[in-house]
Amino acid sequence: MNFQPLFGKQEFLHGADYNPEQWLDYPEVLEQDIAMMKQANCNIMSVGIFSWAMLEPQEGVFNFAWLDDVINNLYKNGIHVFLATPSGARPAWLSHKYPEVLRTSQDRVHQLHGGRHNHCLSSPIYREKVKIINSELAKRYANHPAVLGWHISNEYSGSCHCPLCQENFRKYLKNKYKTLDNLNKAYWSVFWSHTYQDWDQIESPSTIGENAVHALNLDWKRFATYMAMDFCKSEIDAVKPYNDKLKFTTNFMEFFYDYDYFEFAKVIDFVSWDSYPRWHFDKDELPTASYTAMNHDLMRSYKNGQPFVLMESTPSCTNWRDLSKLKKPMMHRLSSLQAVAHGADSIQYFQWRKSRGSSEKFHGAVVDHVGHINTRVGHDVVDLGKTLSKLGEIVGSSTKAEVAIVFDTQNRWAIDDSQGPRNAGIDYLQIVHEQYKAFWNRGISVDIIDESCDLNKYKLVVAPATYMIRGDFAKNVESFVQNGGTYVSTYWSGIVNETDLCFLGGFPGPLKNVLGIWDEETECLADFEEVDIKFDINNILNIKGSFKGRMLCALIHANEANILAHYESDFFANRPCVTCNNFGKGQAYYIATRMDDAFNEVFYSKLTEQLGIKGAIDTTLPKGVTCIARYNNDNKYVFVMNFNKTEQNLQLDSNYINLETQETLSDIVHLEPYASLVLKKA
C-alpha cells in the first residue's frame, strides 16, 4: 500500500513547464522568474520540451549554453527539473531536408511542415535524428543534480500511413497471425470478397479505401500503440546508458483514444498526465468533478496504485476550447487537491509564463503577460504552494480500492467502430462514468482497470458494455465469481472476440455461464424513447420502485439467473431486465438496459451495503461533496471536497486533524463553496 516517494523526498512537487528559451532577449524576465518561483514554493520545472530548434539550430550544430544557464540557475535556487527530450516538435531544417519525416494522413496526403506530434514514427531518419539530440542531452545533463527524471517527448499521439508504416504494419500482422489464412479467418474477410491473397495487399484503413473490416481497424489501432511504445523505448534507449537511475515518464492525456495506455504504461517508470477539466462549463460542477476523479483513478491504476505526477494543468483557463472559462475563487485549490486525493504527488502547470505570441499565448499560466504574480491567479498559485508544503507526509501513500470498474480502451475502439444497433451515441466512456458516479457520490474508492488486469484483489467488479471480450477476461471473471467475487455486467456485453468475431451459440458468449442468461436480441431506442423497469417484490437487493432505461435494451432469457426486475413497456414488457446468478461462492448481476442515474444510485448503494464496502468517511455525504482517502502504513488521510457553489455541512464519523491548520475536527465540519480540506484520521 505504501509506495516510496517517487523522487526520494517526502514532499510534494509544485511547478510548471518552463520555456525560458522564448525569453532569452528579455534578461530581466529570467531573473524575475526565479524570484516568483520561490515565492510560489515551486521546486520543479519541466524544461526542454519544445527546444529542439534552440538546441540544434542547424543539423549537427548544438547550442546548450542557454540551457546550462537555466538548469544551473534553477538548481542554485533549489528547483529541480524534469528534462524533456525534444522530439515532440521537429526543427524546420529537418522537415525541409528530409520530408520523409513528415506524416502521411489516413487519406494518403503527405503533410507539410507545421504543428507538432506529427512525425512518421517509422522514419529511420527521424529516429536517427532524435537519437542524436537525445544522446547529446543525456551526455550533458543526465548526471546533473538538478535533474529528477526524464520527460520523454510530449503527448505522443496519432499515427502515420506512409509506405514505411504500411510495411511495418504488415510485419506486425505477420508476427501476430503467422499465416494469411489465420488473418483472413480472424478478419472474416470472405465477407464482400475481401480475402487477402498476399500480405502486400494489406493497407491501413482509409476513407479512400478499406474501412469496414473492423478487425483491420482494430489491429491498426493496436499497431499505432505498438509503434508509439516502440518509438518511446527507442528514445529511452538513447538516454538511459548515461544514468540508469533516472526515472522515465511521458505525459498522458484525458481518456486518450489513440493508444491503449495500459499497454503503453509498461515502458515508463511512472505515470504523468495533463489534466484540463471543464470547470464551470455546466450548470454545476458535479459531472466534471466525477469525470475528472475517474480519470485520476485511471492514471493511478496504470501502475497498480503508484502515485502519479500531474504534469500539466492550468491555474486559470485553457485557450483551445470553444470557450475558456476562468477558474472561480477556490477552484484552483479544489481541483489540485482533487488530483492529490486520487494519487497525485505533484501539481504542475502548463506553463510557467504565458508566451508572447503564437497559438497558446492565451493559455492560462502562472505569470501572465503583465509580468508579475500580483494577480488573482498568481495568488491562487502561491496559496497552493503553501498548502502543498504542509502535506508532505502524504507523499507515497495510496488508495485502498475494493471496487474496480472496467474501462477497456480496446473495447471502446470496438464499440465505436462496430455497426450495430446504435451507431450514434453509445458513448462507452459515459456509460462507465455513469457507474463510477454512484461510487464517487458515496466516497468509495475505485480502481479503473481494463480486461487485462487482475480481478482478484477486489470485492466488486463492475464491467458495463464489455462488447469485446479479450484475452482471459471471461475466464478471469468466472474464477473471480467462483471464488466469491461480485460481478456486474450489462447489455451489449460478450458479443465479440478480440478480432470482432461474434460469439456463436448465444450471447453474452463466454460470459453466458457466469451470468446465467441468454441475450437473444438487442433493441435500440431512439433518443426520445424510454422504457419502464419495475423491481419485483422481494428481490434479493430489496430495491423498490420503478426506473427508466434507454438507448439499448437486451431482450434476455433468465436461464439460471434470478430475476430482480422486469421491463414494463414496449413489446418486451414482462421480460427480465435485472438478474443475478449465483455462481460458485459469488454472484453475477446483469443489467439489460442503460439505466437512469436514480437506478445506479440505489443499485450500487444496496449492493455495496450488502458487500460491506464503505466510503472514506462512514457518513451520509451531501450531494456534490465527496471524500476520498489515501493510506500509508501508518495513517489514513481523507480529502473532503465540496464541488457545490453553496455552503455545506459534513458529519464526521470520528476525530480528524486538519493537516494545514493542525486543528482537531469532530462532529460537523462546515464547508464553504468549493472548499477542500485535507484531514488525517486522529
* Min CB(220)–a copy of itself separation in Å: 13
Grid coordinates given for 198: 498476399
- Min. distance of Cβ 108 from a copy of itself in angstroms? 7
Which of 76, 178, 266, 356 forms a contact with a copy of itself (CB under 8 A)?
356
Residues 44-63 that bind a copy of itself (CB under 8 A): 50-54, 57-58
With beta carbons less than 8 A apart as the criterion, state whether 299 and 312 touch. Answer: no
Distance CA 500, CA 509 (A): 13
Select 211 or 632, whichever has its Cβ closest to a copy of itself: 211
- Site mask, a copy of itself, residues 620-649, x = CB under 8 A? ------------------------------
Write out 4-33 in H/E/C secondary structure: CCCCCCCCCEEEEEECHHHHCCCHHHHHHH
Q: Which of 203, 230, 284, 416 binds a copy of itself (CB under 8 A)?
A: 203
Least CB distance to a copy of itself at residue 348 (A): 19
**Residue 328 burial class via C-beta count within 10 angstroms: exposed 0-12, middle 13-18, buried 19 and up:** middle
Q: From the centroid of its chain, how far is CA 540?
A: 35
Strands 251-252 and 586-591, how do they pair?
unpaired
Contacting residues for 35 by C-beta, under 8 A, at least 6 apart? none
For 393: left if phi > 0, alpha if psi spans -120 to 50, otherwise beta; the answer is alpha
Q: What's the min distance (Å) between Cβ of 170 and a copy of itself?
A: 13
Determine if 360 is a binding residue for a copy of itself (CB under 8 A): yes
With CA atoms as reference, report the closest residue to 417 among 213, 593, 278.
Answer: 213
203 classed as catalytic: no
- Among 46, 301, 316, 411, the residue binding a copy of itself under the rule CB under 8 A is 316
Between residues 52 and 599, which has the closer beta carbon with respect to a copy of itself?
52
The cell numbers describing 423, all together, are 451507431
Q: How far is the CB of 187 from a copy of itself (least distance, A)?
A: 7
Q: Which is nearer to a copy of itself, 419 or 633 (CB)?
A: 419
CA dihedral 179, 185, 187, 190 (to 10 degrees): 120
Under rule CB under 8 A, which residues in 415-434 are in contact with a copy of itself? 418-425
165 contacts 174 by C-beta, under 8 angstroms = no
Query: Could you tell me the smallest distance in angstroms from the CB atom of residue 28 to a copy of itself?
Result: 11
**Which residues within the stretch 472-501 sit at the binding site for a copy of itself (CB under 8 A)?**
496, 499-501
The catalytic position among 21, 100, 136, 155 is 155
DSSP character for 503? P
Contact 589, 541 (CB under 8 A): no
Residue 504-523 contact track with a copy of itself, rule CB under 8 A, x = bound? xxxx----------x-xx-x
**CA-to-CA separations, 663 to 44, 318, 388, 508, 659, in angstroms, rounded:** 30, 36, 17, 54, 8
- Name residues contacting a copy of itself, limited to 538-567 (CB under 8 A): 555
3 state DSSP class of 511 = helix
- CA proximity to 387, closest of 341, 440, 325, 328: 341
Q: Which of residues 5-44 bind a copy of itself (CB under 8 A)?
A: 19, 21-22, 25
How many residues bind a copy of itself, per CB under 8 A?
112
| Candidate residues 99, 241, 329, 471; the one interacting with a copy of itself per rule CB under 8 A | 329
Closest by Cα among 654, 597, 607, 599 to 627: 654
Residues paired with 496 in a beta bridge: 468, 502
- Given the complex with a copy of itself, which of 304 and 559 has the nearer CB atom? 559
Among 179, 182, 359, 482, binds a copy of itself (CB under 8 A): 359
Query: In 10 A of CB 356, how many CB atoms?
Result: 11
The yes or no reply on residue 113 touching a copy of itself (CB under 8 A) is yes
String of contacts with a copy of itself for each residue 129-168, x by CB under 8 A: ----------------------------------------
* Least gap, CB of 93 to a copy of itself (angstroms): 5
Q: Tell me which of 56, 235, 312, 434 is the catalytic residue.
A: 312
Instruction: Show the site string, 570-589: x = touches a copy of itself by CB under 8 A, - = not.
Output: xx------------------
Positions in 76-95 near a copy of itself (CB under 8 A) = 86, 89-93, 95
Which of 38, 131, 176, 194: binder of a copy of itself (CB under 8 A)?
A: 194
- Of 189 and 306, CB closest to a copy of itself: 189
CB 289, min distance to a copy of itself, A: 18
Contact 650, 618 (CB under 8 A): no
Per-residue mark of binding to a copy of itself, 244-283 (x: CB under 8 A)? -------------------------------------x--
Catalytic residue check, 312: yes
Strand partners, 665: 656
- Binding test (CB under 8 A) with a copy of itself, winner from 320, 483, 546, 670: 320
Q: What is the largest CA-CA distance in the chain?
A: 79
Restricted to residues 370-389, the positions that interact with a copy of itself (CB under 8 A) are: 370-371, 375-377
With contact defined as beta carbons under 8 Å apart, do 283 and 276 qualify?
Answer: no
Of 60, 175, 208, 612, the residue at the interface with a copy of itself (CB under 8 A) is 208
Residue by residue, DSSP assigns 86-128 as -TTS--HHHHHH-GGGB-B-TT-PBPPS-SSS-B-TT-HHHHH
Contact pick of 160, 317, 405, 514 for a copy of itself (by CB under 8 A):
317
Task: Give the Å distances, CA to CA, from 413 to 215, 426, 500.
Answer: 11, 12, 11
* Active centre residues (catalytic): 155, 312
